[in-house]
Amino acid sequence: MIKNIVFDMGRVLVDYEGDRVCRIFIEDEAERKAVTATVFESQEWLFLDMGLLTEEEALKRMQARLETDHAKEMAALCFNHWHEYNMQPREDMGDLVRELKSRGYGIYLCSNASVRLLSCYQMIPGIDCFDGILFSAEVKCIKPQKEMYLHLFERFHLKPEECFFIDDLPMNIEGGKACGMDGYCFADGDVERLREFLSHLNEGQPLT
CB-based contact 34:71 (threshold 8 Å): yes
- 31 with 94: CB under 8 angstroms? no
CA distance 138 to 109: 13
Helix 191-198 and helix 91-102: axis angle, to 10°? 10
Q: Would the pLDDT of 67 be above 60? A: yes
Q: Which residues pair with 107 in a beta bridge?
A: 5
Q: What pLDDT does 91 receive? A: 97
Mean pLDDT, to the nearest integer, of 51-77?
98
Position 206 scores a pLDDT of: 60
Residues 6 or more apart in contact with residue 207 via CB below 8 angstroms: 1, 3, 103, 104, 105
> In this predicted structure, what is the pLDDT of residue 204?
66
**DSSP tag of 185:** E
Q: What is the pLDDT of residue 119?
A: 87
